[in-house]
Amino acid sequence: MKKIIFLLMLSAIGFNISATAQKAITSVHFYDVKNADMEKAYVTSLKEVNAIMAEIGFPKNYYSYMKVAATDTTKTYRNCTIGHWTSEQDYKTIHDHPKFKAWADKNKNTNAVFITGQLYRKFYDAQ
């Protein structure tokens, strides 16, 4: 009987973990950075907010910055920020947190680099 209860509990934990993993989301921002100084300030801003998210208890949620190769001839959407979120609830909690809001307000001019003219999408696991 103890083995059956143990197996049922183990199965429930495994199901819960897989269900949580399926709720992970990814946000993607495509935009253009006008110059190297703006890019440097923006990357610094992302490092700051990643530290804030870890500090408020969400170390598995973070932003990463990417850009196309210098040799790529694409004219628009040459830069990308990817938001890695463990769940929709964590996304909302982080974005509603006073420290996140303070960061966003403090960096609104720096972050405007991707807000104006950006292409933004939130992606959910399709499996």
What's the pLDDT score for residue 58?
Answer: 97
β-pairing verdict for 25-31 and 79-85: antiparallel
Tokens 């959407």, located at residue: 77
Give the whole-angstrom CA distance, residue 54 versus residue 122: 21
Q: pTM of the prediction?
A: 0.77
**Residues 48/103, Cβ–Cβ less than 8 Å:** yes
The residue-averaged pLDDT of 45-56 equals 97
What's the pLDDT score for residue 38?
Answer: 87
Give the whole-angstrom CA distance, residue 47 versus residue 41: 10
Fold (topology level) of 24-124: Alpha-Beta Plaits (3.30.70)
pLDDT digits (tens, 9 = 90+) for 74-112: 999 999 999 999 999 999 999 999 999 999 999 887 777
Extents of the domains making up the chain: 24-124
**Residues 81/65, Cβ–Cβ less than 8 Å:** yes
Give the whole-angstrom CA distance, residue 79 versus residue 25: 20
**Which residues are registered as beta bridge partners of 67?**
79
Give the whole-angstrom CA distance, residue 83 versus residue 65: 9
β-pairing verdict for 62-67 and 119-124: unpaired
